[in-house]
Amino acid sequence: MKILCFLLLFINTITNAQKFTISGKVNDSNLLPLAGASILVDDNKQGVSSDNSGEFSLNLEQGNYKLIISYTGYTSVEKEIELTENKEIVITLAQENFIMEEVLVKAVRANSSTPVTYSNLDKREISKRNLGQDIPILLNYLPSVISSSDAGAGIGYTYLNVRGSNSERINVTINGIPYNDAESQGTFWVNLGDFASSTESLQLQRGIGTSTNGAGAFGASLNILTDAISEDAYGEISNSVGSYNTRKHTVKFSTGMVNEGFELSGRLSKINSDGYVDRAFSDLKSYFLQASYNNDHRLVKAITFGGSERTYQSWYGLDQQQLIEDRRQNPYTYENEVDDYNQNHYQLHWNEKLSNNWSANLGLNYTKGKGFFEQFKTEEDAANFNYIIEDNSDLIVRRWLDNDFYVINLNTSYNKNRLDLITGGSYSNYSGDHFGEVIWGSNLSNGSSISDRYYFSDSQKEDFNIFSKATFDIHNKLSGYLDLQGRFVRYQTEGLTSRRVPIDVDAKYNFFNPKAGLVYSLRDESNLYISYARAHKEANRNDFENGVSSPEKLDDFEMGWRYINDQFRISSNLYYMNYT
């Protein structure tokens, strides 16, 4: 009996002392191995270094461990491991200056611990598809995305639809700054020619997503991060030629990091296309220029981008018979039926790492836009044009938009002990003039002159939002997400519409947009999530012109599963979106 007890005790001791192996590889963000990376066990300070292939191996007893993986110039990663069998892991470390870049968009982006349905594209993936077409066309292969093009070639006026939501309900931000037009709430990609060439990464969130800045944050959101600082100097010239006489010419450069942290980089682009539709040409000129300063705790960026576009109008649809006759025909035949617009953006971003746990980001923006579209009209009534013409005259009009847009964003981020807290706010001020002028008439009335205006209205919009969002651990495999946003909007406009109908609006909206969810980790690479979110959308200018002033409301229920590793990604999602 004593011998049996001794054997049982001996076997139990061996079982308790059983060891397993944690092996793996440490890569950088380009999946290149990092030799000499430190892998430290936080509990017992046992550690190893990765070899020339970035590989490592640790022998540990059964139990729970926290590994700290670090490498000079890269941001350390902590990974919790439940060791009950031999395990292989892959660790990806990001350069510290890239982490500082991510602060620009961290306040509006989701990650694997956020119960939101999203897709990420980095610069490498974008470059594969970037042949000069607008960003909506580059995203057409993503789930629930439909893109379209007036000219049919993906250049000029293009549109993005996600889960049936049009551009007026898709929020777009560039470095956290709202890009949607404040009045129409639409997104005009024609003013961002070749912008994919200056995009570091982007994230498309389907459904309501996380709290963000600006109008149109309703059915989906797209946030864009522009070019990161380049460590090395370079120059690049690229030229592309395609169907429908499409040509893209791009020049890019960077000085690389000089004088302990300074960099200057930029891009010039010119895109021309005849379009698939007759006469639907596009002539786009664009630029991107940034001056940056970066050190261990600070990133400052001064950015300007924009350009000019001149496109022949081709948005008018065809009926079935016209499609049969010639699907490329364009109902417009006047030689100068064009859209001619200039838009320039000026951004200043200041990112500060305040401590190991705290960071902050300040963003300032000014956007100037001005332009017109020209139309030829026949046998018009004088009353529709303020009696500048006689009845039944032909005429040419230009309808102008002249606007200014100011934005200030301020966000803070706190991260410690599996708590990630982001608090911030944004204020924007928009002013715009709408007016139309007659630039030619077959029979002008007495006393009228070329360029007389036949309508005018001015608009003002203020948009303030404040939010706080937190991701926190509930259990070692279960995390929670809570996101609360208050948004306060005032829109004013007075004058005449393009149809000379009086418009007088002074509307205020106060919205509360809560979001909450859970994420359950099945294993290191996969998780399940469930969430609920509510969002509101104020009426836009077209709504007011048609007598609609009530806001829209959306309740969004999401459930999904995702599996992500360095080789591939798999995700599935169920959702129910209730619009009222």
What digits encode the pLDDT tens for the residues 317-339? 888 999 999 999 999 999 999 99
CB proximity list for 487: less than 8 A, separation 6 or greater = 463, 464, 465, 509, 510, 511, 513, 536
Res 428 pLDDT > 50:
yes
Pairing of strands 282-294, 262-273: antiparallel
Both structure tokens of 285: 């000129």
The widest CA-to-CA distance across the chain, in whole angstroms, is 124
User: What band does 129 get if pLDDT is binned at 50, 70 and 90?
Assistant: confident
Both structure tokens of 30: 């380009």
Average pLDDT of span 184-199: 95
Residue for token pair 């495999």: 477
Residue closest to 477 by CA, chosen among 524, 515, 517:
524
Average pLDDT of span 389-414: 96
Average pLDDT of span 20-42: 83
Both structure tokens of 553: 């409301």
117 touches 558 (CB < 8 A): yes
Alpha-carbon span 376 to 410, nearest angstrom = 46
Name the residue with higher pLDDT: 315 or 310: 310
Residue closest to 469 by CA, chosen among 177, 103, 107, 99:
107
Average pLDDT of span 481-488: 96
50 touches 26 (CB < 8 A): yes
User: What band does 311 get if pLDDT is binned at 50, 70 and 90?
Assistant: very high
Both structure tokens of 473: 């651990």
Strand locations in 358-451, DSSP E?
358-380, 393-416, 419-441
Alpha-carbon span 401 to 235, nearest angstrom = 37
56 touches 71 (CB < 8 A): no
256 touches 280 (CB < 8 A): no
| DSSP-H helix ranges across 253-378 | 320-325
Residue closest to 345 by CA, chosen among 464, 176, 122, 213:
176
Res 288 pLDDT > 90:
yes
Res 15 pLDDT > 60:
no
Average pLDDT of span 249-259: 94
Of the ranges 129-133, 136-140, 357-361, which one carries the lowest mean pLDDT score?
A: 129-133
pLDDT digits (tens, 9 = 90+) for 430-479: 999 999 999 999 999 999 999 999 999 999 999 999 999 999 999 888 99
Residue 97's SS3 state is: helix
**Residue 523: is it exposed, middle or buried by C-beta count within 10 angstroms (0-12/13-18/19+)?**
exposed
Both structure tokens of 341: 């617009």
DSSP β-bridge partners for residue 177:
174
Alpha-carbon span 95 to 514, nearest angstrom = 34
Q: What is the pLDDT of residue 313?
A: 94
User: What band does 144 get if pLDDT is binned at 50, 70 and 90?
Assistant: very high
Q: What is the pLDDT of residue 215?
A: 74
Q: Chain-wide mean pLDDT for the chain?
A: 90
pLDDT digits (tens, 9 = 90+) for 147-167: 999 999 999 999 999 999 999
Both structure tokens of 135: 């960003």
The rounded radius of gyration (Å) of the Cα atoms in the chain is 28
573 touches 117 (CB < 8 A): yes
The HSE-up count of residue 152 (CA atoms within 13 Å, CB side) is: 17
Residue closest to 253 by CA, chosen among 238, 233, 270, 273:
233
Of the ranges 79-93, 179-193, 295-309, which one carries the lowest mean pLDDT score?
A: 79-93
User: What band does 99 get if pLDDT is binned at 50, 70 and 90?
Assistant: low
Res 181 pLDDT > 70:
yes
Domains in the chain with CATH codes: 19-94 (2.60.40.1120), 309-337+347-579 (2.40.170.20)
172 touches 179 (CB < 8 A): yes
Q: What is the pLDDT of residue 247?
A: 95
User: Helix-strand-coil percent breakdown of the chain, rounded to 5?
Assistant: 10, 60, 30
Alpha-carbon span 330 to 335, nearest angstrom = 12
CB proximity list for 259: less than 8 A, separation 6 or greater = none
